Amino acid sequence: MPQYLVAIHHPDNYVPSSEDPAMIEDIHALNREMIAAGVRIFAGGLSAASNAKSLRAKPDGGVLITDGPYLETKEHVGGFWILETADMDQAVAWARKAVIACRAPVEVRDFLFRPVPKEATEQH
């Protein structure tokens, strides 16, 4: 069954502890509903983008590691779900609920492929 990334975008100065009880309960309720409907594969909230480490290849073949997010934008992914639904339309229907529960914009992406570990292929 196809899987979808449902990502929540939070402003850079977002403080998770500022979430009010009603919002927290809404998010819990949505999670329960997703589990009950058998669509939730994974869910998680990320810590602030400022805690991120960014890595990029250097021309000399090495890797440059810097503190902070890769893109300097005002909003970053703050948390996400991996949902398994029949199609994009249903993933979007769930994302509608996420917009309300999280009070934040949401992006839905479909997985193009899920790679199989190479060793499994070589065994063959």
Q: Tell whether the torsion through CA atoms of 86, 46, 73 and 24 is positive or negative.
A: positive
Smallest separation, CB 77 to another protein (Å): 21
Please answer whether residues 94 and 34 qualify as being in contact, where contact means their C-beta atoms are separated by less than 8 angstroms: yes
DSSP class of residue 91?
H
Q: Residues 10, 94, 104, 106: which binds another protein (CB under 8 A)? A: 94
- Between CA 52 and CA 21 the distance in angstroms is 27
Smallest separation, CB 51 to another protein (Å): 27
Q: Decide: is 24 part of the binding site for another protein (CB under 8 A).
A: no
- Between CA 23 and CA 95 the distance in angstroms is 16
Span near another protein by CB under 8 A; candidates 10-18, 47-55, 64-72, 84-92: 84-92
- The three-state secondary structure class of 50 is helix
**Residues in touch with another protein (CB under 8 A):** 1, 29, 32-33, 35-39, 41, 86-87, 89-90, 92-94, 96-97, 100, 114, 116-117, 120-121, 123-124
